[in-house]
Structure 1
């Protein structure tokens, strides 16, 4: 979770350290958690922005990825697990990540789906920054994932239940990466249910819109390098 731009009505107390490779994932945590906050005091550092790494980053965070969270001796990597933890422990209610097992398991399943979908999107997105060609097989796999997502939304307002959850924010955030590879021809809004769902998610909370803007600006900077 990115520690800058945190309003006074945010989550409580965890110390968040951001370093190593990242971009989309840290914005995913920020975007989803921003929508359901209590008070917090967070400190953040980002090596890509001139911060210094912890003295023992490999011991604390063997994956060496960001976002990475430290909270009273607990060390977590992976944006989805961080968001699940922060919401479960510090959010004002459980609407984004329900405590009810029957409701939560559906959110979990959608988050596992998001991991697979994002990996497919990454295989299309990554070559652009290395001057490589994207193979058509990777494009086909993303389109297959979008077709699945469209079926998940059939007759529904949200991905997991009758209210917006962490799953909606995570998947919508993954899809935002496709905006920067228009040459791939992949357009999520060609799927009717996704076309209706995306603006619904983006307008669900003002902080989410701010986080998406920050993410898009970050991708633009990456393109310019």
Structure 2
């Protein structure tokens, strides 16, 4: 397996138990089968915390100029996969914690500009119109969000064409998220299970499979 170069910024990188990304049938997901520009969602590192998986269709270089809301600087490693085009981020907005649920999502990747966004190919949160650049570590392009979306660090096994989630980078929102929505999340995920690690595998779904309604803005 190709080893992940673990980021040196101890204050912004967090390790979690490794989870292999699987398809809807529970088989290891092949990175080369991802559709370019499609929104994929998977729960990680907890069953209650959704993440975006995106194939941006081109090699994505890393960046070394990102900062959390409290000023911690970190380097983002860029894309992975056969074309180094695959990225993953926490789907919890860094402003007011907007996130996809099974019923509705106000946040998603948009390939085209819209009346509310002059930017194309961005993750757009319709709640307050924060926009993040997934090709640049999810840095904030517009709106009130105080920091990038947290990166989900992926390890790519080139021989098997498989992806594993292994950690986070940047300012994750997990503590705030559980403090704000803990009661609902416990009901949805079976009590304390909501905040336990997902385990050795985690299932990836298209946003249209994961969520009943997507708000477009």
Give the structure with the higher percent strand.
2
Using the size of structure 1 for normalisation, the TM-score is 0.26
Using the size of structure 2 for normalisation, the TM-score is 0.27
Larger Rg: 1
Give the structure with the higher percent helix.
1
